[in-house]
């Protein structure tokens, strides 16, 4: 199978400017908290991935099918209805920290948070740190 790149790619947009443009006041305020939090946790600068995802780091993946590409290691996106936090990789059992996190909905690699006040920020930091450590141990990662 031919190499197939991820459709979501790094964009030359300032993440702080994107956050400042978020219309929903709660999503904007939460993103203003998450930006320095993720920067501190990861040690990597923020970079936009597509028009709405603030990502940190980069890793290269290659599936058995031959599909490969680059994607962010972790990040977040202030959506209209909630803020998504991306904890990669998904598909691991995160039931224990999820039980302590607070009020969230989640998919395989993302947490959907209505507002940061609904969750335990220490547990969120623990989960992001764990995800970044896993990615560094299992993939080639870089700041950009």
Extents of the domains making up the chain: 19-142
Whether pTM exceeds 0.75: yes
More confident residue, 92 or 4: 92
Are the beta carbons of 87 and 69 closer than 8 angstroms?
no
Exposure letters 103-139 (e unless 16+ CB within 10 A, then b) = ebebeebbbebbebeebeeebbeebbeebbeebeeeb
pLDDT one-digit tens code per residue, 11-49? 999 999 999 999 999 999 999 999 999 999 999 999 999
| Measured CA distances, 82 to 10, 65, 110, 133 (Å) | 22, 33, 12, 26
Q: Give the pLDDT score at 4.
A: 53
Whole-angstrom distance, CA of residue 58 vs CA of residue 143: 6
More confident residue, 69 or 86: 86
> Which architecture, in CATH terms, is 19-142?
Alpha-Beta Complex (3.90)
């Amino acid at each position: 199978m031919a190499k197939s790149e991820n459709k979501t790619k790094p964009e030359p947009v300032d993440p702080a400017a994107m956050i400042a443009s978020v219309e929903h006041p709660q999503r904007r305020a939460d993103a203003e908290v998450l930006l320095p939090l993720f920067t501190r946790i990861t040690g990597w600068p923020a970079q936009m991935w597509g028009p709405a995802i603030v990502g940190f780091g980069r890793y290269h993946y290659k599936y058995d099918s031959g599909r490969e590409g680059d994607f962010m290691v972790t990040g977040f996106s202030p959506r209209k209805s909630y803020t998504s936090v991306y904890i990669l990789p998904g598909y691991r059992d995160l039931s224990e920290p999820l039980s302590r996190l607070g009020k969230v909905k989640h998919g395989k690699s993302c947490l959907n948070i209505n507002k940061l006040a609904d969750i335990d920020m220490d547990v969120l930091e623990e989960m992001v740190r764990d995800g970044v450590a896993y990615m560094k141990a299992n993939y080639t990662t870089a700041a950009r």
